[in-house]
Amino acid sequence: MTTEEVRRLQLTPASKIPSRRQRWLWANRIPLGTATVFAGRGGEGKSTFALYLAAQLNRGELVGDLTGVKADVLIVSHEDDWATVMNPRLLGTGADLDAVHRLAVETTIDEITAETIPALPLDITLIREAVHATGARLLIIDPITSTIGGDLYKVADVRRALDPLTSLAQELDIAVIGIMHFNKGGGNASDKLSGSHGFRDAVRSVLLFATDEETGQRVVTVDKSNYSQERGASFAFNLVSMTVSTDDGAETQVGSVQFLGDTDVTVSDIINRTTDADAPDDRNAAQAFLLDYLRGRVEKEAAAADVLKAGRAAGFSDTDLKNARRRCRDPRIESQKSGFGSGWVWAISYEGVTEGVQGATSHEGDTLDTFVTPSTNSDDPPSYSDHRLAILERADLVDISPAPWGGDAA
């Protein structure tokens, strides 16, 4: 039996719609009232970072409009086993397991009952019931493509599934994080989302994930941000191994997030980076250009934007110059913030010493705490005020690569 769709005209004067400012789950990066996509190749830490944010929200520590509010989280995830993977990961983040809820759907066909994941838009009413029952303010769907029954490469099918979800987020003032994978190969990072561009069009924020093989750090770039000026900004984190105790009296290793703060490396830089075997003469020429340019400045430093502009005029691409900066040794060329809210500065660092933006000095033998502003709480959430020192790109700061706890750390 086919259900007939009934469509009616609706007109609402704009004067009847109260204006209000945009609210944020995570300030300027993950908006409330709509959906955000986390995208990257498998193993880049997308799922682990989402759980990290969930734990911050559980504790009321996530910087945004819900700071101080301890809120529940709903998770749709079927790729990883909850007993052996999801719960240990949540324990590793310090999440409140009573405030994290696995969301599934029970179906009965011909008296046979089975459990499955929600389907969009079919189960939007059940998702609404789950939000009302728990008071959740965040819904994580991992991967979001698994909830869509139509053709992922057809815009109409994708929008038919996602539009009701974003409308629900707006209605209930919650945030939705949908986790997706990249297509293979290089190219424009903005075009790497698997499936139709309808995914990118339907959401208001897109965060791209990639691993910087030169440092082992995970880099996240805000690739789309309709409601803030964060588009193009990047931050970094490490995946570190930690031991958690399980309910069966055993111990297991899980990945946990160590937030590092802002970085001038972007996901686009990483996925399009020239390999060591490619054009060594060009790289050496780019390094020579950078050193000559910076040595010609009184302070031996310059705004990164000015250096890149001059480099382009000299025939180098931005990727050539960024790769050359990272490979420079003796002297190093460090990248650092010039001040709160300011742009990036590239500076020559002699004998491994670079001055930080607040007078801090970093040395080759220093620990990670030298480069990241100390926090009074090791579980403090990501924030813009806590990580303004230069993040030095050093492989010896990486705790694990690849992750030793097994499986896909996506």
Domain match, 127 and 191 both? yes
Is beta strand 34-40 parallel, antiparallel or unpaired with respect to 205-211? parallel
The reply to whether 373 falls in a domain is yes
| CA distance to 177, 246, 248, per residue, from 251 (Å) | 30, 6, 9
55 φ, ψ (degrees, to nearest 5): -65, -40
pLDDT tens, residue by residue, 225-250: 999 988 999 999 999 989 999 999 99
Spatial separation of the C-alpha atoms in residues 127 and 269, rounded to whole Å: 38
pLDDT at 125 exceeding the cut of 90: yes
Name the one residue in this structure whose structure tokens are 């190093």: 332
Spatial separation of the C-alpha atoms in residues 164 and 159, rounded to whole Å: 8
pLDDT tens, residue by residue, 178-187: 999 876 655 5
Domain match, 181 and 241 both? yes
Say what the pLDDT of residue 263 is: 92
Domain match, 259 and 168 both? yes
pLDDT tens, residue by residue, 131-166: 999 999 999 999 999 999 888 888 899 999 999 999
Name residues whose C-beta falls within 8 Å of residue 405's C-beta, 6 or more positions apart in sequence: 241, 252, 253, 254, 255
Total domain count, the chain: 2
The reply to whether 2 falls in a domain is no
The reply to whether 80 falls in a domain is yes
The angle at the Cα of 155, spanning 118 to 141, to the nearest 5 degrees, equals 30
pLDDT at 384 exceeding the cut of 50: no
Q: Is 277 exposed, middle or buried (CB count within 10 Å of its CB: 0-12, 13-18, 19+)?
A: exposed
Tell me which residue of 29, 381, 378, 406 sits closest to 203, measured CA to CA.
Answer: 29
Averaged pLDDT, 359-365: 32
The reply to whether 110 falls in a domain is yes
Domain match, 117 and 251 both? yes
Range of the domain at 379: 274-392
The reply to whether 7 falls in a domain is no
Domain match, 355 and 238 both? no
The angle at the Cα of 137, spanning 131 to 140, to the nearest 5 degrees, equals 85
Domain match, 236 and 283 both? no
Is residue 104 within 8 Å of 113, Cβ to Cβ?
no
| CA distance to 47, 204, 262, per residue, from 383 (Å) | 20, 20, 10
The reply to whether 64 falls in a domain is yes
Domain match, 153 and 257 both? yes
Domain match, 195 and 283 both? no
Element (H, E) at 237: strand 234-245
The reply to whether 234 falls in a domain is yes
Averaged pLDDT, 10-30: 95
Domain match, 244 and 345 both? no
The reply to whether 403 falls in a domain is no
Encoding tokens for residue 288?
């020579």
- Comparing 168 with 382, the larger pLDDT belongs to 168
Domain match, 253 and 279 both? no
